[in-house]
Amino acid sequence: MSQIIFYGAGEWAQDNLERLVNEGIEPLCFADKDKKKHHTFITSTMEKKYEILPLTLIIERYPDYTLYLTIDEKNHKKVVSYLKEQGIPDNRLNFLGRQKRIGCKQLGKTFVVDGDFFRICCPTTPKNLKFFSFPHDNLNNGLKNYNSSVDYLINCHEKGDLGPCEGCSNLMVGFYECKKNTKMDTILFCNYNWSENICNLKCIYCRQYCHHERSHERPVLKDIVVQAAELFNNSNNDIIFGFAIGEFFARKDADEILNYLSKQRYKIRVTTNATIYKESFMQMLEQGKVYRINTSLDSGTKETYEKIKKRDLFDNAVENLSRFSGKCKQLHLKYVIIPRINDNEKDFEGFLNIACRIKARIFISADYYELKNRIPKDTLNSVILLYNKAKELRLSPILLKEHFNFEDRLLLEHELKL
């Protein structure tokens, strides 16, 4: 019988350890590449401890080992090629029910409430698969519809059929969980900044509805949040309430919604430009109820920030980000690369200094509304430079490949060995 070793002692492992053990997959220990983790322990919520060891020691100590990959899907390709370089044969790897196939990392994870519609994925994806309207009346029906749509699409992808996703930049070959293990973990509220709640910035790449009046009656965000909180109360999943696309803190009812959610069992994640200080949000941070903050800073100097955001609020954003630092599990800082505006070393240096100071993870993106157009060669070289500098600083940069033109993506994957 093979000896089960979990490979990868990061966040995914910590989040899934309990579930795997409950399903009868219990490791003898963990293996990980990171030397700093060696001979430390991962503890399950049952207070059981699992030691983290170097791969060489595992091979020596456990001759019948099988490595179960306890890592996030997005890192599978990189980790598998690393393990192959270390001489680990294919038959010693177990993907924990995940299959190598065409698929989408968003699919089945996030139920999107997008202003008028329920969606199965973020409304910024080119396909815009909307399938139900007016959520405030029909949240329950919308969820049923969501689940059957997700099942249908995963079925298509498992058969190698792209289905309605054909042409979407998020569709990629990778390692994906099979249908039965795919669990929704987030309800994401998007595009809620209509009429009096518009965003306080005017980013040059913003194409959201936030700067436009809507002509018809819209659902009340607080009402949908309350309905969702009540609906998920009996669910076994830990659902995260997310707010994205549009500036949540610019809403007049943001405090009311945050105060409500702070009394519920859910954690939240927020995409914010970080220029508006909210005491109610700081309180949720202090309570450990903020899972993730995403901010696009896109610059490292005040001058460039103002060119992109059309407001002189760089210092406010940096000050608030510093307040957030260390208080939530994931602080994500994004750099949307814009040719001739922020693709320069001075901005990169400023941006990386801030990221190091606030201990943020870096995400590098292109303007995803311009997917049809390639970015200039020198700007692509700047992306490579920024990525490598972030890597040298151990900021674990992520290139948002799906936000790049397909040919640019191939070139970047090749140059960065992704």
List contacts with ligand SF4 (CB under 6 A).
104, 106-107, 120-121, 125, 127, 129, 153, 165, 168, 170-171, 199, 201-203, 206, 208, 210, 246-247, 273
- Tokens 């139920």 locate to 111
What does each C-alpha distance from 53 to 24, 87, 283, 386 come to in angstroms?
Answer: 22, 17, 38, 32
CA atoms of 44 and 39, how far apart (whole Å)? 16
Alpha helices in 86-220 (DSSP H): 139-158
Amino acid at 348: F
Helix (H) or strand (E) holding 415: helix 406-416
Question: Which alpha helices (H) appear in 107-220, and where do they start and end?
Answer: 139-158
Between CA 149 and CA 359, with CA 124 as vertex, the angle to 5 degrees is: 110
Nearest approach, Cβ of 242 to ligand SF4 (angstroms)?
Answer: 15
Tokens, residue 147: 């689940």
- H-run or E-run covering 176: strand 172-177
Pairing of strands 29-31, 98-103: unpaired
Q: How far is the CB of 409 from ligand SF4 (least distance, A)?
A: 15
- DSSP E strands in 222-346: the ranges are 240-244, 267-271, 290-296, 330-336
CB of 163 to ligand SF4, least distance (A): 8
Nearer to ligand SF4, 53 or 187 (CB): 187
Cβ proximity to ligand SF4, 6 vs 243, nearer residue? 243
Instruction: Tell me whether residue 37 or residue 105 sits nearer to ligand SF4 (CB atom).
Output: 105
Compare residues 207 and 391 and give the one whose CB is closer to ligand SF4: 207
In angstroms, rounded to a whole number, what is the distance separating the alpha carbons of residues 397 and 365? Answer: 11
Closest distance to ligand SF4 from the beta carbon of 155 (Å): 13
Closest to ligand SF4 by CB, 29 vs 153, is 153
At 377, phi and psi to the nearest 5?
A: -60, -45
Nearer to ligand SF4, 29 or 206 (CB): 206
Q: Where would I find the beta strands (DSSP E) of 161-306?
A: 172-177, 186-190, 240-244, 267-271, 290-296
- Between 131 and 134, whose beta carbon lies closer to ligand SF4? 131
Q: How far is the CB of 339 from ligand SF4 (least distance, A)?
A: 18
Find out whether 293 and 331 touch, Cβ atoms under 8 Å.
yes
Shortest Cβ 43–ligand SF4 spacing (Å)? 35
Query: In 44-97, which ranges are continuous DSSP H helix?
Result: 55-61, 76-85
Q: Which is nearer to ligand SF4, 58 or 331 (CB)?
A: 331
Q: Report in angstroms how near the CB of residue 392 gets to ligand SF4 at its nearest.
A: 29
- Compute the least distance from the CB of residue 325 to ligand SF4, in Å: 20
Residue 125 or 304: the one with the smaller Cβ distance to ligand SF4 is 125
Q: How far is the CB of 294 from ligand SF4 (least distance, A)?
A: 10
Chain-centroid distance of CA 263 in Å reads: 25
By CB neighbour count within 10 A (0-12 exposed, 13-18 middle, 19+ buried), where does 232 fall?
Answer: buried
